[in-house]
Structure 1
Amino acid sequence: MATLTKISGGTVFDPANGIDGEVRDLWFSNGKMVAPPTDKNAKADRTIDAAGLVIMPGGVDMHCHIAGPKVNVGRKLRADDRRDPAAALERTRLTRSGTLGSVPSTFATAYKYAALGYTAAFDAAVPPLGARQAHQELADTPSIDRGFYTLVGNNHYLMEQIAAGEPEGVEAYLAWLLTATKSYAPKLVNPGGVEVWKQLGAGESTGLDDRVPTFNVTPREIIQGIARAANALELPHPVHIHCNQLGMPGNWNTTLETMKSLEGHRGHLTHIQFHSYGGGEGEESSLKSQVAELSEYINAHENLSVDVGQVMFGNTTSMTGDGPLGYYLRSIYGDRWYSADGEVESGCGVMPIEYKNKNLVHALQWAIGLEWYLAVDDPWRVVMSTDHPNGGSFLAYPEIIRLLMDRTYRNDVLATCPKGLGKRTALADMDRQYTLGEIAVITRAGPARLLGLEQKGHLGPGADADITLYTPSENFAEMFQLPRMVFKAGELLVEQGEIRTATTGRTLHVDVSYDQDRLANLPEWFNSRYSLEFENFAIGEEELGEVSS
């Protein structure tokens, strides 16, 4: 028999339902939120006194790297920052052991997300050949719901279909690939640019209208072809774009052209901080923020959204499906580096990196990320992310919240950065301070809506009973660092930082219908090149939560 639970008297922030700091009761049963009983005499089977506490839906991280081939490379490459005994999680009666560092193990990743009040996270870049491994890892990441996006921006078959002017073939193949890999959305990483780098070598930089050798297609045509197909398929999250020329001075022009190339189609531009640099090409000395120009375009076009990719000072690991970028970073830092091809269609670069507040470039990256949060008018279209672990760990989210909500603290940190920063960024002149309601949008309601997760990011009837209770504090980092309680599907998952329930969570994926006659021979074509069959994943179907399109 289902148990009826009442959370009584908390201050609720539920932006999706228009609730902004109202004291009210919440009810849930059988893992779902329910409407308050109409019978005034009805009694809950369990009542939780939340007087004086702040209540929000469970957090949703729509862009991180927690599973798949490059994440495992990162775990091996960064064994040094996982050996510290203080970074170890001991096995308990309820939990498994794990290690932290910049690339935590699967169990540690899940426990730490849950301990922050997050109940869902999506890996942002898995090559199709890595899908089976990613599913295994995500199944080994308990406590949270999860999913991943499939890399398609340098996919040979899609480039062939786009070049041939076959939009139906693009749609059918994209639908088949997402369904076969049981993934959630298509991901473009440096579309066309990775293929150019592989064919022509180091030093090649691809603009949106440069032709990709062999395939006779441009990055702009790839973006447009896949965006149109994704929107035609009515995917819950149509296309997730890592723009060309990431990290390069002057790349803001390419970013702006990428936005324009979507031509009204829905599209999400990820870790936008890394794509917002002014200056001369290849000239770090002229690097500056171009957030004002790019955010103006975002503010004027409701079809577009971004997540930030906030850089935080400290030691972390760079990992990307953008092979040329990995090579470029290696040439700058000279540290150990790993590069690999995935099925001859996806690049991979992994290396250690440390962001220092006294380094002008690093400080500028930090400032540009904060500019983005403060410059986008509509918080529903800007999402909190560190591109974990690229800009920093997801464990830095409470610190980012404090930077956004406390201008005095933000300026104090800014004052520790190089003096030349003031000429390159407008951060010092930005007075905006986020409210708790806006924080609930950029960490919960907004990403859930952008992902099409109707059961996530809100506390209305029918939503998953994913609920986080916080103790208010003038220090917002402390407030969000240690929730009082976290519920996942109605079960008490975390209390004061301690795991109370070893739940399993679900892997979310799309199941897209398509014209099978159009691709009658596609599996044979794919296997003939890559000797892979996607059928019979070694994971129980009951573990996968389906989102139909």
Structure 2
Amino acid sequence: MELLIKNGAVYDPINGIKGDKTDISIKNGKIVDKVSSRALVIDAGGRLIMPGGVDAHSHIAGAKVNVGRVMRPEDTRAGIIPRTKITRPYTGYTVPNVYAIGYRYAQMGYTTVFEAAQAIMKARHTHEELEEIPIIDKGALTLFGSNWPTMDYVREKDMDKLAAYVAWGLLASRGFGIKAVNPGGGEMWGFGKNVSGLDDVVPNFDVTPAQIIVSLMKVNEMLGLPHSVHLHCNNLGKPGNYKTTLASMELAKQVKPSKDRQVMHVTHLTFNSWGGTNWGDFESKADEIANFLNNSENVTTDMGQLIFGSATTMTADGPVQYANAKLLHAKWGNGDVELEDASGVVPIFYVKQISIHAIMWAMGLELALLTKDPYKVLLTTDHPNGGPFVNYPEVIALLMSNKKRQEEIKTLNEAVHKRTRIPGIERELDFNDIAIMTRAGSAKVLGLLDTKGHLGAGADADIAIYDIKPDQIDPSVEHAKIKSAFSSAAYTIKGGEVVVKDGQIVATPAGRTFWVDASVPDQHTDIMMKDIRMKFKNYYSINLANYMVEDAYVTHPNVVRAGVIPVTAR
């Protein structure tokens, strides 16, 4: 199949294209230099064209998502979109069903999305759900930050064993990369405790969060994984936690990258940029986080932007969810994954007149606007923690229009003026910045620039066309049109196939699941597996044979071979 897109205003930051009228040729699902005269032609009519959107951090599948669905029956009562000849019934807002996830991402022009946290033990269920999400490509990051083998090998300073465990864990979970959530804290939560800083010692393992983070970064580079360590910092959700965040990012200076990317990605910084000592003097410290990023080359982040209204907080950080439930007098669910991690789910409603919520709303925007390089801050809402992903167009409009921000500020608690810098920030991002934060930057952070996030020859033919003409619109003034256009793509093309036209789903191909195959010397795996078998014999409640994700669970795989650096050389 051949397709030619003509007469569009193309924004492709990786290839240095900023609004130029450039033809895009597609053949057999890939972008090519040219096509034959038989190609189907789409005339974009001067409309905005970008690569398909890439979301590097979202919660779209797995056990905690289903707990959220059970806890939010009002999501379903809000309405069910009935079956059509093309689409299945779908429903939900903060925790939509699997079909809604695929359809709605595609309708916004997104074609690739990564689940941000899966425990190895629960990975089979995660992949069952990923398989059911239509259209989009996806993958899942695997939790390693509180796993018993991780902490054993960190204590022993045995990086060969730790590398072998991570490589095996990625295979066992069909995972894409290393995720660490409140390192060490998940283990302590099993005893009703938590870590309060990077130098706290985890009982029974005699390791600290700092040691866990640095060791995982070193192993990540030893294995040559495409993505860096994906870190959810300790002390999330506590006033004053920006100090822990800065200290965590400082740890990245101890490790050199094996690839042209960061060594640490710190996620959803709206929840980790908190100043003050209590809720009474709570304030934004996003400016200090941005200052660090402006002077650092080995750390990237994402916003985790707060959206007012309903949300469902869900995370592998069990202690913070317990604290949220007690603070808010809310219902909650708690999960413990034996020998691996903890989790929690708490429904929430963000209110404009609550000072804490208003300040949090400002934090994500401050982070994006005060950080000079848009490649260092990805656009996310930490769906559904900060708010549902369908609100990305709202965030885009806020970033591109100071006028819209000022209009919103007028409706918020006055604490925004006293405890944030957002009222005085005049910077407005442009279409190229947005293309970086939602496409090029995300693909680079994930290590997928060979096929994702750009429109050069060889890339996946994932393309979004939006119904606005960049040379005929002022995003600062016409922000409502910006939001509307990014909410409903004129065309979304996935793998060379038109899947959305005029905002409507017209095809539902199956997306692929990306996972990473990392290699270590066989002798390291053999030695490590003796420890794993002992753990299963003495502690696990399931058999090792029932633990790993089998090929049958991933029917459309895209296996990424890690760029192997011989572990013995380290």
- TM-score bracket, normalised by the shorter chain, equals over 0.9
Find the partner of 2:462 among 441, 466, 476. 466
Aligned with 2:280: secondary structure?
helix
1:373 touches 1:382 (CA, 8 Å); kept in 2? yes
Structure 2: distance between partners of 1:336 and 1:50: 49
Letter in 2 for 1:190: N
Divergent runs of 4+, >4 A: none
Find the partner of 1:56 among 39, 47, 50. 50
Structure 2: distance between partners of 1:536 and 1:421: 47
Identity over the aligned pairs, expressed in percent? 41
Aligned with 1:365: secondary structure?
helix
CA shift for structure 1 position 542: 4.5
Structure 2: distance between partners of 1:315 and 1:535: 35
Per-residue deviation, residues 215-249 of structure 1 (Å, max 9, x unmatched): 00000000001111001111100200000000100
2:124 touches 2:553 (CA, 8 Å); kept in 1? no
Letter in 2 for 1:116: M
Per-residue deviation, residues 130-171 of structure 1 (Å, max 9, x unmatched): 111111110000100000001111011110110111111111
**CA separation of 1:69/1:536 partners in 2, compared to 1, >3 Å: closer, same or farther?**
closer
Q: Partner of 1:267 in structure 2?
A: 264
- The answer to which of 472-481 and 132-141 deviates more is 472-481
Q: Does 1:209 align with 2:209?
A: no
1:66 touches 1:109 (CA, 8 Å); kept in 2? yes
Q: Partner of 2:274 in structure 1?
A: 277
2:513 touches 2:554 (CA, 8 Å); kept in 1? no
CA shift for structure 1 position 198: 2.4
Structure 1: distance between partners of 2:460 and 2:535: 38
1:526 touches 1:532 (CA, 8 Å); kept in 2? no
1:60 touches 1:121 (CA, 8 Å); kept in 2? yes
Q: Does 1:524 align with 2:533?
A: yes
Letter in 1 for 2:197: G
CA shift for structure 1 position 79: 1.4
Structure 1: distance between partners of 2:27 and 2:551: 32
Q: Partner of 2:231 in structure 1?
A: 241
Structure 2: distance between partners of 1:429 and 1:232: 44
Letter in 2 for 1:366: W
Q: Partner of 1:22 in structure 2?
A: 20
Letter in 1 for 2:534: W
2:184 touches 2:195 (CA, 8 Å); kept in 1? no
2:154 touches 2:211 (CA, 8 Å); kept in 1? yes
Per-residue deviation, residues 24-69 of structure 1 (Å, max 9, x unmatched): 11100000000135xxxx5242111112211000000100001111
Structure 1: distance between partners of 2:213 and 2:521: 22
Aligned with 2:552: secondary structure?
coil
Q: Partner of 2:445 in structure 1?
A: 450
**CA separation of 1:294/1:361 partners in 2, compared to 1, >3 Å: closer, same or farther?**
same
CA shift for structure 1 position 541: 5.2
Structure 1: distance between partners of 2:154 and 2:2: 53
Structure 2: distance between partners of 1:228 and 1:321: 23
Per-residue deviation, residues 396-426 of structure 1 (Å, max 9, x unmatched): 0000000000101111101111112211101
- The answer to which of 527-536 and 120-129 deviates more is 527-536
Structure 2: distance between partners of 1:424 and 1:140: 44
Q: Does 1:100 align with 2:100?
A: no
Structure 2: distance between partners of 1:516 and 1:79: 49
Report matched runs for 1:53-92 at 5 Å: 53-85=47-79, 88-92=80-84
Letter in 2 for 1:495: K
Find the partner of 2:499 among 484, 493, 496. 493
RMSD, matched Cα:
1.3
Structure 1: distance between partners of 2:198 and 2:516: 29
- The answer to which of 251-260 and 28-37 deviates more is 28-37
Letter in 2 for 1:456: K
Find the partner of 2:298 among 293, 300, 303. 303
CA shift for structure 1 position 294: 1.5
Structure 1: distance between partners of 2:20 and 2:254: 37
Q: TM-score, normalised by structure 2?
A: 0.92
Q: Partner of 1:32 in structure 2?
A: 30
Structure 2: distance between partners of 1:44 and 1:477: 36
1:110 touches 1:143 (CA, 8 Å); kept in 2? yes
Letter in 2 for 1:409: K
Structure 1: distance between partners of 2:492 and 2:244: 41
Q: Partner of 1:116 in structure 2?
A: 108
2:123 touches 2:173 (CA, 8 Å); kept in 1? yes
Q: Does 1:547 align with 2:560?
A: yes
CA shift for structure 1 position 464: 0.4
Structure 2: distance between partners of 1:150 and 1:135: 12
CA shift for structure 1 position 351: 1.4
Q: TM-score, normalised by structure 1?
A: 0.96
Structure 1: distance between partners of 2:38 and 2:361: 47
Provide the aligned length of Structure 1 versus Structure 2: 537
Structure 2: distance between partners of 1:76 and 1:30: 41
CA shift for structure 1 position 263: 2.0
Per-residue deviation, residues 54-99 of structure 1 (Å, max 9, x unmatched): 10000001000011110111111111222122xx121111111121
Q: Partner of 2:352 in structure 1?
A: 357
CA shift for structure 1 position 540: 5.7
